Amino acid sequence: DTGVSQDPRHKITKRGQNVTFRCDPISEHNRLYWYRQTLGQGPEFLTYFQNEAQLEKSRLLSDRFSAERPKGSFSTLEIQRTEQGDSAMYLCASSHDYQNYNEQFFGPGTRLTVL
């Protein structure tokens, strides 16, 4: 297991298009988190899952954003009708309830550019 992976690494899209990102957590990690990082800022929490249940959503997660983790393994984050303000790095992290005090391990991120 090589860590958290995210796909794609880069995405360029036109305003108004829909995009979907995928995150594969570390095997057997039951918690999965999504963060967004804009230039010059630290990552900001978007949402997280415990297994397949989405337990918390930030107010940053507008109606255009939806996340799923259907089988409690990989997760997808979809943004509908993208806006230029959605341009950011989208980070995924995973952790295990009974390992390392739930230390979160981060993936490389998906960089979204909305033209």
Residues in touch with other proteins (CB under 8 A):
31, 33, 35, 40-45, 48, 50, 56, 58, 91, 97, 101-104, 106-109
Whole-number minimum distance, CB 16 to other proteins, in Å? 30
Tokens of 109: 């991120």
Nearest to 95 by CA among 104, 86, 87: 104
DSSP bridge partners of 65? 79
Nearer to other proteins among residue 20 and residue 108 (C-beta):
108
Is the Cβ of residue 8 or residue 16 nearer to other proteins in the bound state?
A: 8
Q: How far is the CB of 18 from other proteins (least distance, A)?
A: 25
Peptide bond connecting 25 to the previous residue in cis, omega within 30 degrees of 0: no
The least distance separating other proteins from the CB of residue 14, rounded to whole angstroms, comes to 26
Neighbours of 25 (CB within 10 A): 27
